[in-house]
Amino acid sequence: MAKVTIRKVYEFEKPLVICDTNVWYQIVNGRFTKPEDVLLIPTSFSLKEIATSKLMVHNTKYYQDVLKSIYDNCGPIIPNNPFDFILNNLDANYKLNDENTELLLKGFSELLSRKVEDVVIDEELKNKILKDCEDNRNPTFEFAHFGNEEIFSIRKNINTGIGIKEHIKEDSTEINKQMLIKMFNAYCKVKNYTINWDKFDWNQIELFMIVTEIFFKKLETTKNMKISPNDLVDWFNLLYVTPKDRYLTFDDRWRNYILEDDRIKRYLYI
Residue 184 within a domain: yes
Residue type, 87: L
Structural domain boundaries, residue 28: 16-267
Q: Which pLDDT belongs to residue 256?
A: 95
Indicate the pTM of the whole model.
0.85
Average pLDDT (192-221) is 91
Residue at 9 is within a domain: no
In this predicted structure, what is the pLDDT of residue 138?
64
Residue 1 lies in a domain: no
CB 27 within 8 A of CB 54: no
Q: Is residue 56 part of a domain?
A: yes
pLDDT tens-digit series, residues 35-60: 999 999 999 989 988 988 877 777 88
In a domain, 212, yes or no: yes
pLDDT band at 14 (very low <50, low <70, confident <90, very high): confident
Q: Which of 91-95, 102-106, 155-159, 252-256 has the highest mean pLDDT?
A: 252-256
The pLDDT of residue 19: 97
How many separate domains does the chain show?
1
55 part of a folded domain = yes
pLDDT at residue 4, as a whole number: 44
* CB-CB contact of 236 with 82 (8 Å): yes
- The whole-angstrom separation of Cα 247 and Cα 207 is 9
Asked if residue 59 is part of any domain, the answer here is yes
107, 125, 148 from 228: Cα distances, Å: 28, 28, 9
Residues 6+ apart with CB under 8 A from 39: 12, 14, 15, 16, 17, 74, 75, 76
Chain-centre distance of CA 165, in angstroms? 31
**Residue 270: what pLDDT?**
87
Average pLDDT of span 96-113: 87
Q: Say how far apart CA 137 and CA 54 lie, in whole Å.
A: 11
| Rounded Cα distance, 117 and 213, in Å | 48
Q: Is residue 141 part of a domain?
A: yes
SS (H, E, C) the chain: CCCCCCCCCCCCCCCEEEECCHHHHHHHCCCCCCCCCCEEECEHHHHHHHHCCCHHHHCHHHHHHHHHHHHHHECCCECCCHHHHHHHHHCCCCCCCCHHHHHHHHHHHHHHCCCHHHCCCCHHHHHHHHHHHHHHHHHHHHHHHHHHHHHHHHHHHHHHCCCHHHHHHCCCHHHHHHHHHHHHHHHHHHHCCCCCHHHCCHHHHHHHHHHHHHHHHHHHHCCCCCCCHHHHHHHHHHHHCCCCCEEECCCHHHHHHHHCCCCCHHHECC
pLDDT digits (tens, 9 = 90+) for 112-160: 887 765 555 555 555 655 565 555 556 666 766 666 676 656 666 666 6
